[in-house]
């Protein structure tokens, strides 16, 4: 999956408008082969933004009925931050059940998986996939993809924040000298052990510095992170 | 038993909640002498308790607090990134695979099995939610506790001599889970049961 995702993440990295972000959501949906993907963000001042593949009819219906009040996905993910399969949410009430029946009728699918995201200064978002599938296949799909999905969800969120602020790179996405050193040594062909030794830190510490850099750079893995940093001219090799 | 509760869920357990904040006051203000705020109820709380964190708690048979710790995602506000970047060589540690764990607290008189059980709860969170590591600000005097349990942090940095602050990294692994499960005297099945009771309801909803 990482191989198929990398070109999409490269496209996401180049996104500069919300329209392009919407296109990226469609590309992600096709890459994961699910029915729908929904990204929904609420910032610290309560402003909302969504990029999604749902039919507009369901969006209109959802807003007109103010379903966010009773939607178990919203209620279950608000104030929590672990990824959750929709089956584990509380659908016991009558309103929740009829809401689900209606959602299925509108083509949402009978399965879902949501990843809550906490951003800077009180911003939060929800990244959701939905599909028509058996319990067994869906469990298999989410187990196989959850690590990638968590990363992708956060990259989409970083991009949305970047577009909202209108700056190229968020301050929190700038690499510190230590991260630049770590990536530079790897780019020069040092092994992790050699790089850690050169910087007089443990391999565990090095791994976490690289992880922090990788996340800031929106990269799937270390190789991708080094390539990104080189492309941005952040490394002198 | 181990309980996993988000901030807003603490109110369902008033005794557990109030004794946790009291025990935190006793540990951080009292025993360790940290510069923390204790309110008129004798509760030690800080601004990160207002960020809807996830608490892992050991609840005693009488319903009171035996020990606890607090998790927050590093993609949002965290103590390490907000205040202790000097101890991480200026690196802001943000990753969806690393959560911050702070306020590791034991009630006075809690046995070694309680600290092991609590750390086991921490590993369940890490492995259950696909995390690689926990990062945390801690008192180096607690290192002894972690070492005895067999789960020592990698130290990212320490404050000046004499100050009681260090930043550590705890790596999640199956090996540590097995070790802590044994040290705590809690079987894999029981631990799994407590985790699933908190994060997964049994009643499935394929109603349509």
| Residue B126 exposure: Cα atoms within 13 Å on the Cβ side | 24
CA separation, residue B186 to residues A206, B67, B192, B203 (Å): 34, 16, 10, 26
Determine contact, residues A145/A6, Cβ cutoff 8 Å.
no
Q: Which tens digit of pLDDT belongs to each residue from A158-198?
A: 999 888 877 555 555 689 999 999 999 999 999 999 999 99
Does pLDDT of A2 surpass 80? Answer: no
**What is the C-alpha to C-alpha distance for residues A220 and A7, in angstroms, rounded to an integer?**
10
CB contact under 8 A, B97 and A150: yes
Counting other chains too, the contacts that B127-131 makes at CB distance below 8 Å and 24 or more residues apart are B127/B172, B127/B174, B127/B177, B128/A82, B128/B195, B128/B199, B129/A82, B129/A83, B129/B99, B130/A83, B130/A146, B130/A147, B130/A150, B130/B97, B131/B97, B131/B98, B131/B99, B131/B172
Shortest Cα–Cα distance, A156 to chain B (Å)? 13
Chain A to chain B Cβ contacts (< 8 Å)? 116
| Chain B positions in Cβ-Cβ contact with residue A79 (cut-off 8 Å) | 6-8, 52
Looking at per-residue confidence, does A31 or A121 come out higher?
Answer: A31
State which residues of chain B have pLDDT below 70.
Answer: 161-162, 201-208
| Chain A positions in Cβ-Cβ contact with residue B200 (cut-off 8 Å) | 85, 88
Instruction: Report chain A's mean pLDDT, rounded to a whole number.
Output: 91
Query: Three-state DSSP class for B208?
Result: coil
Topology of domain B2-199 in CATH is Aminopeptidase (3.40.630)
pLDDT number for residue B37: 96
pLDDT number for residue B140: 87
Question: B15 Cβ partners below 8 Å, 6+ apart?
Answer: B63, B64
Give which of B81, B92, B127 to mutate to test A binding, by max A Cβ within 10 Å: B92
Determine contact, residues A188/A237, Cβ cutoff 8 Å.
yes
Q: For domain A174-231, is the CATH number 2.40.50.140?
A: no
Q: Roughly what angle, to the nearest 10 degrees, separates helices A177-187 and A222-231?
A: 110
pLDDT number for residue B201: 55
Alpha helices in B45-133 (DSSP H): 79-83, 112-128
| Chain B positions in Cβ-Cβ contact with residue A120 (cut-off 8 Å) | 75-77
Topology of domain A2-165 in CATH is Beta-Lactamase (3.30.450)
**What is the C-alpha to C-alpha distance for residues B9 and A80, in angstroms, rounded to an integer?**
10
Shortest Cα–Cα distance, B109 to chain A (Å)? 32
Mean pLDDT score, A212-228: 92
Helix (H) or strand (E) holding B179: helix B174-184
Nearest-by-CA chain B residue for A158: B75
Query: Three-state DSSP class for B25?
Result: helix
Nearest-by-CA chain B residue for A152: B96
| Chain A positions in Cβ-Cβ contact with residue B95 (cut-off 8 Å) | 208, 211-212, 214-215
Tell if the pTM clears 0.90, that is, is over it: yes
Alpha helices in chain A (DSSP H): 2-14, 18-32, 56-64, 72-77, 94-105, 135-165, 177-187, 192-198, 203-217, 222-231
What's the complex ipTM? 0.92
CB contacts under 8 A, A 157-186 vs B, are: 157, 172, 176-179
Return the domain boundaries, chain B.
2-199
pLDDT number for residue A70: 93
Exposure pattern of A29-40 as b/e (b: 16+ CB <10 Å)? bebbebbbbbbb
């Amino acid at each position: 999956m990482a191989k198929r995702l990398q070109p999409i993440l490269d496209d996401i990295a180049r996104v500069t408008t919300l329209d392009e972000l919407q296109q990226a959501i469609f590309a992600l949906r096709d890459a994961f082969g699910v029915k729908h993907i929904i990204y929904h963000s609420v910032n610290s001042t309560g402003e909302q933004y969504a990029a999604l593949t749902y039919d507009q009819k369901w969006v209109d219906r959802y807003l007109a009925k103010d379903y966010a009040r009773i939607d178990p996905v919203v209620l279950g993910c608000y104030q929590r931050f672990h990824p959750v399969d929709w089956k584990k949410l509380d659908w016991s009430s009558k309103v929740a059940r009829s809401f689900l029946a209606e959602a299925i009728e509108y083509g949402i699918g009978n399965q879902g998986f949501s990843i809550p995201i906490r951003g800077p200064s009180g911003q939060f978002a929800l990244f959701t996939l939905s599909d028509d599938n058996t319990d067994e296949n869906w469990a298999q799909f989410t187990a196989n993809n959850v690590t990638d999905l968590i990363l992708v969800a956060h990259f989409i969120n970083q991009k949305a924040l970047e577009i909202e602020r209108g700056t190229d790179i968020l301050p929190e996405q700038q690499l510190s000298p230590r991260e630049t050193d770590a990536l530079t040594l790897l780019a020069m062909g040092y092994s992790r052990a050699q790089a850690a030794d050169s910087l007089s830190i443990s391999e565990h510490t090095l791994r976490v510095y690289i992880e922090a850099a990788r996340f800031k750079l929106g990269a799937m893995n270390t190789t991708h992170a080094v390539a990104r940093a080189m492309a941005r001219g952040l490394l002198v090799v | 038993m181990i309980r996993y509760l988000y901030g807003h869920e603490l109110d369902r357990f008033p005794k557990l909640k109030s004794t946790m904040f009291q025990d935190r006051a006793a540990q951080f203000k009292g025993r360790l002498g940290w510069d923390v705020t204790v309110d008129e109820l004798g509760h030690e709380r800080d601004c990160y308790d207002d960020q809807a964190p996830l608490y892992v708690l050991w609840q005693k048979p009488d319903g009171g607090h035996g020990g606890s710790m607090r998790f927050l995602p590093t993609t949002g506000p965290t103590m390490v990134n907000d205040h202790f970047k000097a101890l991480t060589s200026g690196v802001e540690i943000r990753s969806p695979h690393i959560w911050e764990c702070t306020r590791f607290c034991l009630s006075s008189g809690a046995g070694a099995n309680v600290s092991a059980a609590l750390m086991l709860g921490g590993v369940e969170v890490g492995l259950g939610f696909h995390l690689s590591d926990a990062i945390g600000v801690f008192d180096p005097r607690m290192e002894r506790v972690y070492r005895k349990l067999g789960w020592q942090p990698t130290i990212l940095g320490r404050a000046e001599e004499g100050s009681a602050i260090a930043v550590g990294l705890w790596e999640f692994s199956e090996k540590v889970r097995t070790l802590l499960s044994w040290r705590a005297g809690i079987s894999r099945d029981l631990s799994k049961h407590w985790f699933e009771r908190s994060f997964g309801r049994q009643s499935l909803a394929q109603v349509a």
